[in-house]
Amino acid sequence: MTWPTHKRRLIESFYNSLSSDDKHEWAIHRKACDKSSFYFIKECGGYQPKSGGDISPLIHKPILDRWQDKTITRQACYMPRSWKKSTCLTQWSSVWEYLQNNEIRILIPTEREEKASEWVQWIEAQIVQNERLRWLYPELQAVD
């Protein structure tokens, strides 16, 4: 069975297990998360302490909208320390990109190898343990 077929079956099975009210809620949030990395971070990070739920629509939304624009091939983002650059653009955007295309390869450059390892571990922990993320993306059951 190919991944798209398996993914579709996981999603259909999950969707059919929901009540009619939950189906509507899930569909709205899933569509919004697939469309906007900003909304995705607010939805999934908002349920984890210090994980992006406190990002600002005024500061972060324009940056994330530009970041997900694939017509812009070279990008950089300069912001002061502790403004959630790594949280949004490295950690959560990597998860979001993976969910859009699980065949993608993502480079995580940093000055120290230990920091990149920490970020990869954080990404793995979100995929395996974040209940809101796993509710919105039931196909992550295949990652277990």
Q: How much is the mean pLDDT over the chain?
A: 85
1 lies in some domain? no
Helix and strand element counts for the chain (H, E): 8, 0
Residue 103 falls within a domain, yes or no?
yes
Report d(CA 134, CA 28) in Å as an integer: 15
State residue 32's pLDDT score: 94
pLDDT of amino acid 88 = 77
The pTM for the full model equals 0.83
Flag whether 56 is in a domain.
yes
- Joined tokens for residue 80: 């002061």
Residues of the chain with pLDDT under 70: 1, 3, 47-53, 144
What pLDDT is attached to residue 144?
60
Structure tokens at 119: 């970020």
Phi-psi region of 56 (alpha: psi -120 to 50; beta: other; left: phi over 0): beta
Range of the domain at 77: 30-143
CA distances to 35, 48, 53, 103, 115 from 41, in Å:
12, 10, 7, 21, 21
Instruction: Flag whether 25 is in a domain.
Output: no
Q: Is residue 21 part of a domain?
A: no
**Directed axis angle between helix 20-35 and helix 37-45, to 10°?**
130
Query: Which tens digits make up the pLDDT trace of 23-50?
Result: 999 999 999 999 999 999 888 887 555 6
Asked if residue 17 belongs to a domain, the reply is no
pLDDT on residue 22 = 94
Taking alpha carbons only, the member of 134, 128, 138, 140 closest to residue 102 is 140
**pLDDT computed for residue 81 by the predictor:** 81
The total of structural domains in the chain comes to 1
CA–CA distance, 79 with 82 (Å, rounded to integer):
9
- State which amino acid sits at residue 6: H
Tell me, what's the pLDDT at 26? 95
For tokens 């699980």, what's the residue?
Answer: 102
Q: Is 71 part of a structural domain of the chain?
A: yes
Q: Which of 77, 75, 29, 82 is nearest to 55 (CA)?
A: 82
**Residue 60: inside a domain:** yes
